[in-house]
Structure 1
Amino acid sequence: MKKFTALLVIMVLHGLLFQTAFAQEERKAMVPLPSVDDFTRGEDGWAVGLGLGIEYETAYEGSDEFGLEIDPAGAVQWRRGDNIFFWAGEAFGWRGLRNDTWLLEALVGFDEGREEGDSDKGYLDGLGDGDEGLELVLQGRRALDADWRYWLVGRVVTGENGNLGLFGVGRRFGQQNDGSGSEVNLVAVFHDSEYANNGFGITAQQAAASGLPETRISSGLRSVGVDYSYRKHINRNWQIFGEVLFEYYSSDVRSSPIARSNYETEVGIGFIYVF
């Protein structure tokens, strides 16, 4: 009887360990980064994650006004090996893993532009609405070790409103391989004159309508910043995510009358249900 009981215990433990190992393998993300949505559980085919997020953020770039905004979260994804195609909100794109150390991404998105009514205090009156347009975003991350503990990141945004570049370093916390945990990135952001003036410049016509001085911003350093991402898998289907972003503007940007604050910040939290 004792031998039978011992055998039964061993079989149960073996089954539990097998299920745990299977679950960990099934939930392994393409890269274990909390900022990268991966709802595929390591399997080829379709995957869907949908949810909501709430953000407390500045009303527009350079604003000293803050407000809450609720946005949809998640994405529809299709995976084949180390490639994922995705549709998320107003963006459609692709990301792929190469040699286990390069995470490459390309997407086409929509820039809604700034609206004159974004300022409740009327600070944008007379400036008109910013131009809307499509943007192409190219990004690459290069892991500096085998488990993506540290990496370098570069991003280029180009579109009808100019060009922007981002360069930085990242650090991941936690031992999970399923995309949960947290990470932090330190970045420097650069823009060309077209992108800079689209956000912070004031033309002669805008100056006459708004009473603000005509302003021209040169290309160069836009800001330095830090962003923190967090993701928690509650169970197989439910996830909680969060993000904190802080961006400190360069002296050139701070000289613009539009920049009523020296920085931009954003705090967001939300949930996603993975089908």
Structure 2
Amino acid sequence: MRKFTGLLLALFIHALFLQTALAQEEKTALVPLPSIDDFTRGNDGWSFGLGLGVEYESAYEGSDEFGFEVQPAGAVQWRRGDDIFFWAGEALGWRGLRSDTWLLEAIVGFEEGREESDSDDGRLDGLGDTDEGFELALQARRAFDADWRYWLDGRIVTGENGSLGIFGVGRRFGERKDGSGSEFSIVAVFHDSDLANTEFGVDPMQAAASGLNETNLSGGFRAIGAHYNYRNYINDNWQIFGEVLYERYSSDIADSPIARNNYEAEVGVGVIYVF
């Protein structure tokens, strides 16, 4: 009888640890990368995160004027298995995990454009405003293994003002699978002539109105960049995040009269409450 009771106790303890392990597994993120918002805790159905972020960034592409900007953070997400559909700010999207090592993503978002008033020093006067419009972003990340310690990244962003291509390699730090920790990536950025001239070109009419030299750019290499992301969970509901972005422009972009700097930089921090 004592042996039978001991056997039942051992089976109960084993089942308890198995349930705990399964519960922990359910809380793993779709992919354990801090740059990918995942509020689902590994569960199917609806999830919601809401917060605020503060960014210190350039006023426009190539600007030497920097300032703080407060932006909402978070998203509404719906998960089913290895697929998440989400609404985040001005973007609607889908991301899905395939074969444990492929992360695919498609996003339809809104491009704000550039206004002359973006420069407090009047350095955009006479250039006019660039058009606002929708843009489509397609992304694929390929991990070297299911642990997502290293990965390759490819993105294409296309809109009314032109197209952008980003290709890079990344490294994840930390051991947890819930999306906390940090990551670092190095990317090469390319753009077509439409986007290059929208952001850094000066046509004859703009040159006459602004006094800047007429500038016509071709597509190709735009910048080499580095990106760092961090995310940590304070408790079951609160999380903090941060990022640092630096891009060094190519010589063609740096020589544009619109580019007051030969680089672009951004630092951001924020908090999110997960419901």
User: Same fold per TM (> 0.5)?
Assistant: yes
Q: Is the 8 A contact 1:51 1:72 kept in 2?
A: yes
Superposition pairs for residues 1-275 of structure 1, below 5 Å? 21=21, 23-275=23-275
Task: Find the residue that maps to 1:126 and give its secondary structure.
Answer: coil
Equivalent AA in structure 1 for residue 49 of structure 2: G
Aligned-partner Cα distance in 2 for 1:69–1:14: 52
Displacement of 1:262 in angstroms is: 0.6
Displacement of 1:21 in angstroms is: 3.3
Q: Which runs of 5+ in 2 are unaligned?
A: 1-9
Residues 155-191 of structure 1 deviation map (CA, whole Å, 9 limit, x = unaligned) = 0011111111000000000000000000011000000
The residue that corresponds to 2:6 in the other structure is: none
The residue that corresponds to 2:4 in the other structure is: none
Aligned-partner Cα distance in 1 for 2:255–2:19: 59
Equivalent AA in structure 2 for residue 37 of structure 1: D
Task: Find the residue that maps to 2:86 and give its secondary structure.
Answer: strand
Q: Is the 8 A contact 1:149 1:172 kept in 2?
A: yes
Residues 83-134 of structure 1 deviation map (CA, whole Å, 9 limit, x = unaligned) = 0000000000000000111000001000000110011111001111111111
Displacement of 1:146 in angstroms is: 2.3
Q: Is the 8 A contact 1:227 1:245 kept in 2?
A: yes
Q: What is the percent sequence identity of the aligned residues?
A: 73
Aligned-partner Cα distance in 2 for 1:126–1:101: 49
Aligned-partner Cα distance in 2 for 1:15–1:33: 31
Displacement of 1:215 in angstroms is: 0.5
Q: After TM superposition, where is structure 1 displaced by more than 3 Å over at least 4 residues in a row? A: 13-23
Aligned-partner Cα distance in 1 for 2:15–2:234: 22
Task: Find the residue that maps to 2:196 and give its secondary structure.
Answer: helix
Displacement of 1:18 in angstroms is: 6.5
Equivalent AA in structure 2 for residue 169 of structure 1: V
Aligned-partner Cα distance in 1 for 2:23–2:230: 21
Displacement of 1:23 in angstroms is: 4.9
Task: Find the residue that maps to 1:196 and give its secondary structure.
Answer: helix
Number of corresponding residues: 268
Task: Please give the TM-score of this superposition, normalised by the length of structure 2.
Answer: 0.93
* CA distance 1:99–1:22, change in 2 (3 Å): closer
Q: Is the 8 A contact 1:24 1:178 kept in 2?
A: no
Residues 47-89 of structure 1 deviation map (CA, whole Å, 9 limit, x = unaligned) = 0000000000011100001000000000000001100000000
Task: Please give the TM-score of this superposition, normalised by the length of structure 1.
Answer: 0.93
